[in-house]
Amino acid sequence: MHAKGYLDLMRRHGLRVTPQRRIILQLLEERRGHPDATAIHRLAQERDPRISLATVYRTMKVLEDLGAIQRHLFEGGPARFENADTDHHDHLIDIDTGKVIEFSSSRIEKLQEEIADRLGYEIVHHRLELYGRKKRQE
């Protein structure tokens, strides 16, 4: 979502759009990947040193409640965020670096559907996270 989209969404829900929130929203538009609140805070303070970590957390919570972003709690790390309007994908987390790699696999999706069907279920939501480390070159 673009910063303007976040702004419009917040205004439609009667929420104040402060200068600090504008900066946070701009950073979310500019940042790719899955930043955590501390990374967003560090970048926000470069633009306005008065922005507190609490303001970042509150803004992220508001956006999450509005369905604009998704919060991910990958094992062993802080909550990380991404736009909610992205196509479905899964995540591979490098346990040595914390890097989050997005991937999609029609084979995995089909297998999940087959398993759920065999067990008598319809999948309404799922999240796949793989944790690994780079193979050593020998």
Type of residue at 85: D
Instruction: State the pLDDT at residue 2.
Output: 65
- The partner residues of 69 in beta bridges, in order of sequence, read 83
Domains of the chain, earliest start first = 3-83 (1.10.10.10), 90-132 (3.30.1490.190)
- 93 close to 34: Cβ distance less than 8 angstroms: no
- 2 close to 29: Cβ distance less than 8 angstroms: yes
36, HSE (Cβ side, Cα atoms, 13 Å): 10
Instruction: State the pLDDT at residue 3.
Output: 60
> What is the residue-level pLDDT of the chain in tens, covering all 138 positions?
666 778 788 888 888 888 999 899 888 888 777 888 999 999 999 999 999 999 999 999 999 898 888 888 887 778 888 877 777 888 999 989 888 898 999 999 999 999 999 999 999 988 898 999 999 887
- 41 close to 82: Cβ distance less than 8 angstroms: no
Residue 132 to residue 49: CA distance in whole angstroms: 37
Type of residue at 8: D
